[in-house]
Amino acid sequence: MLLYYITDRTQLGDDETTRRQRLLQRIEEAARAGVDYIQLRERDLPTRELHKLAAEAVATVRATGSKTRLLVNSRIDVALAAGTDGVHLRSDDVRSSEARSVWAKATKHTDCVIVQSCHTLMEVLNAEAHGADFVVFGPIFGKQGSETPATGVEALARITGRGGPADPKVEAGQSLRMPVLALGGVTVEHVSACLQAGAAGIAGIRLFQQGAVKETVNRLRSL
């Protein structure tokens, strides 16, 4: 099971200095606990500040000696400059193939992780067709503070099964080669249902950012 921590420093304090300190501490704890991927999602930061935070996060993860891989949200330029392991693309960002091409031109290799957020079957299929390593699909159980309706585990099952009566453009029974991670209101209690629906892992903010992350990871790994 892949574990994917999405950061949100605004939940970690009232002032910016405290937020950043606590976020880097949480990133270190997550890496030491064995989280597979960390997405630095701090979308409100200006480029210079995001680059500084990303570079500090890279150094923090590397210092743990873990295999955790750090990604930056959307900003390929920042990801490259900070030396992260890849980038997380929104559904309306450039295609995964274009992002990998930019990465290859800048680094002379394609050894990077490209992840994409998806909300529909067609977005998932397009992400796979353009070479994304995996996608994050949701919101399975809704999104706090958003009117976006929950997709439910039934939609997740259709996505991972790739087709069915509700998706006539896709041949029923085709297997999805690319991993799909479940996102959106997922708690420890929900994880088994997501895995049974075909999810290859779990993504979340509060799941990993609240409470003891090591305890959370241990509980998830035991499922």
Q: How does pLDDT run across 171-220, given as a tens digit for each residue?
A: 444 556 899 999 999 999 999 999 999 999 999 999 999 999 999 999 99
In the chain, how many domains are there?
A: 1
Q: Residue for token digits 């900003």?
A: 75
Burial of 112 (0-12, 13-18, 19+ CB in 10 A): buried
Determine the pLDDT at residue 145.
Answer: 66
Question: What secondary structure letter does DSSP report for 3?
Answer: E
**CATH number of the domain that residue 177 is part of:** 3.20.20.70
Going by C-alpha positions, the residue among 129, 139, 133 that lies closest to residue 179 is 133
Task: State how far the Cα of 88 lies from the Cα of 117, in Å rounded to an integer.
Answer: 8
Task: State how far the Cα of 70 lies from the Cα of 88, in Å rounded to an integer.
Answer: 10
Contacts 24+ apart (CB under 8 A), 104-110: 106/80, 107/80
Task: State how far the Cα of 86 lies from the Cα of 111, in Å rounded to an integer.
Answer: 9
Determine the pLDDT at residue 173.
Answer: 41
Show the domain range for 167.
2-221
For 10-64, the pLDDT digits (tens) are 999 999 999 999 999 999 999 999 999 999 999 999 999 999 999 999 999 999 9
65-93 exposure pattern, b = at least 16 Cβ within 10 A, e = fewer: ebebbbbbbbbbebbbbbebbbbbbeeeb
Parallel, antiparallel, or unpaired for β 37-40 and 113-118? Answer: unpaired
Q: Could you tell me if 131 and 139 are in contact, meaning their C-beta atoms sit under 8 angstroms apart?
A: no
For 110-149, the pLDDT digits (tens) are 899 999 999 998 999 999 999 999 999 999 998 776 677 8
Work out the pLDDT band at 167, boundaries 50, 70, 90: low
Burial of 33 (0-12, 13-18, 19+ CB in 10 A): buried
Query: Which residues touch 15 (CB under 8 Å, ≥6 apart)?
Result: none
Task: State how far the Cα of 42 lies from the Cα of 9, in Å rounded to an integer.
Answer: 7
